[in-house]
């Protein structure tokens, strides 16, 4: 069976058993000193710190690096997000949305308090600096979009995923109408967004919604093309999986889809050298870096770039007055560009 290509995750993933077997055999073949040289820290350092944190709660042994990594890998399938990352090396619409879904987070918090939270749900939702930055970024985007929600405007989310970014804003001040448009390459994502919208739309008759299956890398985005259609486009979770060339193509397509004066809100993961290190927990970052490098190999890790590079790419696509809004750890800055 053939699968559509998604930039954000591998479709047609191996089974969990296969992915876990692959991870085990990669760990068996691992040259620990080379891994340490790449990471820039010793595995013994990470294990010593986490022995105190985790040994009493999870079946992990801390005496041998390969054994530790294998046991870590075996914990991944106990978390839904962990399972998806292990198999697909990225996040689809459903997995990404868990990070911003307060009800899901509430369930995990309950399990954390009762001591039943799987290790990787604990690490992904409460510990890893990169994923905590993702959560903070969501709030930064929403504050920026909220301040631009006006009567008779048209806001788009691309890729929309479940479109929680637009669907959970406050529209009670809208007196006439506002249009929300979701575009995603995955028909299942569009269905998920449409379903989530049903609750919101029932409560506010002034919101109009529209859904498109589209490709951000294709000029016009959809057939027929969306040209000068939007006052605002928000985009999370696509450019971090794209090459520089694809980013410029994507930004140019968004630029063409914006009305004059329209705004594009996006973000990018930056390399560790650009972090606000006095605000990042170095132990937590080390474990995150180890999990990414030795167990998951996420697709986004190949495309990290400084915010200034993203600014230059947005400017190349035609955007002006590009602002950079950092998150507190400096990991996932938001960028806002304007179409003149
Ligand atoms: C990481 S998720 C982000 C979803 C949403 N923006 C969010 O924050 O919840 C990535 C999304 O990109 C979509 N996608 C991947 N490649 C795409 C492309 N070329 N054009 C449009 N959407 C794409 C996937 O279907 C998926 O829904």
What is the Cβ-side half-sphere exposure of residue 314, based on CA atoms within 13 angstroms? 26
List ligand 1's pocket residues with C-beta within 6 A: 6-8, 91-93, 96-97, 159, 161-162, 184-186, 189, 215-217, 236-238
Instruction: Please report which confidence band the pLDDT of residue 11 belongs to, taking 50, 70 and 90 as the band edges.
Output: confident
Identify whether the C-beta of residue 41 lies closer than 8 Å to the C-beta of residue 286: yes
Quote the CA–CA distance of 269 and 275 in Å, as a whole number: 10
Q: Is the pLDDT of residue 218 over 80?
A: yes
Q: Is the pLDDT of residue 200 over 90?
A: no
Classified as helix, coil or strand, 184 is: strand
Quote the CA–CA distance of 158 and 328 in Å, as a whole number: 25
Identify whether the C-beta of residue 125 lies closer than 8 Å to the C-beta of residue 105: yes
Instruction: Please report which confidence band the pLDDT of residue 2 belongs to, taking 50, 70 and 90 as the band edges.
Output: low
Classified as helix, coil or strand, 203 is: helix
CA of 186, closest atom in ligand 1: 25
CA of 143 to the centre of ligand 1 (A): 21
pLDDT of residue 330: 98
**Which whole-number Å values give the CA distances from 251 to 87, 134, 239, 248, in the listed order?**
29, 21, 9, 5
Percent above pLDDT 90 for the chain: 91
Instruction: Please report which confidence band the pLDDT of residue 1 belongs to, taking 50, 70 and 90 as the band edges.
Output: very low
Percent above pLDDT 70 for the chain: 99
pLDDT of residue 64: 93
Mean pLDDT of 51-80: 94
52 token code pair:
């105190």
Which domains are delineated in the chain?
16-133+275-300 (no CATH), 135-273+304-338 (3.40.50.150)
Q: Is the pLDDT of residue 312 over 60?
A: yes
Q: Terminal CA-to-CA distance of the chain, rounded, Å?
A: 45
CA of 161 to the centre of ligand 1 (A): 6
Q: Is the pLDDT of residue 191 over 60?
A: yes
C-alpha 163, offset from chain centre: 13
22 token code pair:
């692959």
Q: Which residue's alpha carbon is nearest to atom 5 within ligand 1?
A: 161
Average pLDDT, rounded, for the chain: 95
pLDDT of residue 202: 81
Residues 132-159 have pLDDT tens digits of: 999 999 999 999 999 999 999 999 999 9
Residues 79-106 have pLDDT tens digits of: 999 999 999 999 999 999 999 999 999 9
CA of 189, closest atom in ligand 1: 27
Residues 106-140 have pLDDT tens digits of: 999 999 999 999 999 999 999 999 999 999 999 99
In this structure, the strands spanning 320-325 and 334-338 are antiparallel
Q: Give the residue with greater pLDDT, 13 vs 56.
A: 56
pLDDT of residue 8: 86
Q: Which residue's alpha carbon is nearest to atom 4 within ligand 1?
A: 161
Q: Is the pLDDT of residue 303 over 80?
A: yes
| Candidate from 71-85, 192-206, 226-240 with smallest mean pLDDT | 192-206
CA of 325 to the centre of ligand 1 (A): 22
Q: Is the pLDDT of residue 299 over 50?
A: yes
CA of 226 to the centre of ligand 1 (A): 18
The single residue listed with the structure tokens 């589209």 is: 214
Q: Is the pLDDT of residue 204 over 90?
A: no
């Amino acid at each position: 069976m053939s699968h559509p290509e998604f930039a954000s995750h591998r479709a047609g993933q191996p089974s969990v058993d296969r992915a876990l077997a692959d991870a085990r055999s990669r760990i068996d073949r691992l040259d620990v000193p080379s891994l340490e040289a790449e990471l820039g820290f010793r595995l013994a350092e990470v294990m010593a710190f986490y022995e105190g944190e985790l040994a009493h709660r999870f079946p992990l042994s801390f005496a041998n690096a390969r054994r530790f990594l294998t046991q870590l890998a075996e914990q991944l399938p106990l978390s839904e997000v962990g399972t998806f990352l292990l198999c697909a090396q990225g996040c689809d619409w459903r997995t990404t949305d868990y990070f911003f879904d307060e009800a899901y987070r509430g369930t995990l918090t309950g399990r954390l308090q009762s001591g039943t939270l799987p290790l990787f749900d604990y690490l992904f939702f409460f510990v890893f600096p990169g994923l905590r930055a993702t959560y903070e970024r969501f709030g930064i985007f929403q504050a920026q979009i909220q301040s631009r929600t006006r009567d008779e405007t048209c806001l788009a989310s691309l890729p929309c995923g479940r479109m929680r970014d637009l669907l959970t804003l406050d529209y009670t001040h809208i007196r006439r109408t506002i249009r929300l448009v979701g575009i995603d390459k995955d028909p299942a994502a569009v269905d998920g967004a449409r379903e989530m919208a049903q609750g919101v739309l029932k409560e506010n008759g002034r919101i109009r919604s529209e859904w498109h299956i589209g490709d951000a890398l294709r000029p016009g985005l959809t057939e027929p093309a969306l040209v000068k259609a939007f006052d605002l486009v928000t985009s999370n979770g696509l450019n971090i999986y794209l090459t520089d060339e694809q980013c410029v193509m994507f930004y140019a397509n968004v630029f063409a889809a914006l009305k004059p004066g329209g705004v594009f809100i996006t973000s990018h993961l930056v390399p560790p050298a650009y972090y606000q290190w006095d605000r990042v927990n170095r132990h937590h970052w080390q474990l995150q870096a180890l999990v990414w490098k030795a167990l998951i190999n996420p697709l986004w890790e190949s495309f990290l770039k400084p915010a200034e590079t993203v600014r230059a790419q947005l400017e190349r696509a035609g955007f002006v007055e590009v602002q950079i809004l950092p998150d507190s750890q400096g990991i996932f800055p938001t960028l806002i560009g304007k179409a003149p």
